[in-house]
Amino acid sequence: MPDHKDYYAKIRAASIVDVARRLIPERITVDKGSTLNVDCPRHDSVSKTSMTIDGARNVFFCHGCTTGGDVIHFVEFVTEGSVTKDVRDRMPESHRRARDWLANFLSLPTLASQSPEEAEKVERGQIEKERLYAVLGAAAEMYHASLLESPRALAWLEEKYGITEEIVRHFGIGYSGSADMFSRLVNEHSFKTKHVLESGLFIWGNDERPHALFRERIVFPYHSSGRVVYMIGRLVPWADHVRSAPKYMKLLKNDPMRHRYVSPHLANPIWGADVLRRRDLREVVITEGITDALLTSWQGFDCISPVTVGFKKRRRARAVYGAAPCRPRRHRAGRGDLGDRVAGIGRDVPRAQRRRDRSRGRRAPARRGPGRCAQRATRVRRR
């Protein structure tokens, strides 16, 4: 039986570029390797390039049909003419046929070949994930609109980090002001209270009311396969609780004692991890902070940021490339193309190791190069 926890992850790992070349090779009009322009099979296109397939993010979008999504959505759209999103009850047959087509393409077992109970278990877990991502996506859109309507927050972002409005629009960065986001998600988007609480965006207080986790924060969404799957919030200096609150805050996680209502499907991912799917990827820049990653990616570099996860130095190569041979190379980045603040992960001697050495009476190894404030990045390059 397929593992219900990662079956869909394996299906979505299929390269959308390879799938397009197999499914509609005659409609590919521009082939740039990891990016394709396609004559959409679902409408009459004058330019014959209305559909864009982005291999780096493993997503597609048709400008004529205003439809897009991940690789499962692509197969469903091409073969069935529909795209299944925000499923609330059961998976439609069009989605199942597209999923099984991809399973055959990847030489994986199909759910159609399993018992109804086993297939239902896998689908139920995926429906819960899709529902979670629908809430996060709706919240991200509202945060983004709020930032675009806040000249003060936009000006502070540009002055502090050099993040312009163009970059804000590109990455969907948002701002959580004082608006009642919970009521808007329930009333405007028709989400149930239970499902909104599952997103980790709200704390259920002792007064039996939801309280926003992000208050007066710049919100940075994490995208994967065209969906918002996570967020972090950076406190703004004019917040009334600026002295008592942490500068950065992550979403709540499922805790049987404190936050039972948060979905167990809410993962804590690496920002930008979609670029690691590219087979032509030769080098990736790893930055410490989320703003460093945004500026680096904006300049055209393949970049990831493990700002919200434990990503120790000895795990870098394995986390990025699995068993593939690679070597980490430290790169000194100056001001200019990489932005004003490109930081690296840790130092040559991790801080925790220096503490342990001092506690045992050992002489701490000397640091190499400048300290934390230097512009430094870590690149992992394939041999």
Domain boundaries, the chain: 7-114, 129-250, 273-382
State the Cα–Cα distance between residues 253 and 266, nearest whole angstrom.
7
Contact of 101 with 108, CB cutoff 8 Å: no
| Closest CA relative to residue 226, chosen from 358, 55, 25 | 55
- pLDDT for 107 equals 92
State the Cα–Cα distance between residues 289 and 306, nearest whole angstrom.
8
Task: Enumerate the H helices of the chain as residue ranges.
Answer: 7-12, 16-23, 71-80, 93-105, 116-148, 151-161, 165-171, 181-187, 193-197, 290-298, 316-321, 351-359
Q: Work out the percent of the chain whose per-residue pLDDT is above 90.
A: 43
- pLDDT for 366 equals 46
Tell me how far the alpha carbon of residue 199 is from its chain's centroid.
15
- pLDDT for 77 equals 94
In angstroms, the Cα distances linking 248 to 226, 298, 333 are: 24, 22, 24
**At what angle are helices 151-161 and 116-148 packed, to 10 degrees?**
90
Q: Residue 248 phi/psi, 5° resolution?
A: -115, 145
DSSP state of 367: P
Average pLDDT of adjacent 10-residue blocks, the chain of 383 residues: 71 91 93 90 88 89 91 94 80 90 92 84 88 93 95 95 95 88 91 93 88 93 90 92 84 89 90 80 86 92 82 51 42 37 37 57 46 43 48
Tell me how far the alpha carbon of residue 292 is from its chain's centroid.
16
Instruction: Return the SS3 of 331.
Output: strand
CATH architecture of 129-250: Alpha-Beta Complex (3.90)
Dihedral sign for Cα 41, 47, 50, 56, please. Answer: positive
In angstroms, the Cα distances linking 3 to 121, 166, 233 are: 10, 41, 33
State the Cα–Cα distance between residues 301 and 275, nearest whole angstrom.
10
**At what angle are helices 71-80 and 93-105 packed, to 10 degrees?**
120
State the Cα–Cα distance between residues 77 and 105, nearest whole angstrom.
17
Please give the structure tokens belonging to residue 202. Answer: 């709200």
Q: Residue 282 phi/psi, 5° resolution?
A: -110, -25
Provide the b/e sequence for 207-237 (b: ≥16 CB within 10 Å): eeebebbbbbbbbbbbbbbbbbbbbbbbbbe
| Closest CA relative to residue 376, chosen from 318, 325, 330, 322 | 330
CATH number, span 7-114: 3.90.580.10
Tell me how far the alpha carbon of residue 146 is from its chain's centroid.
20
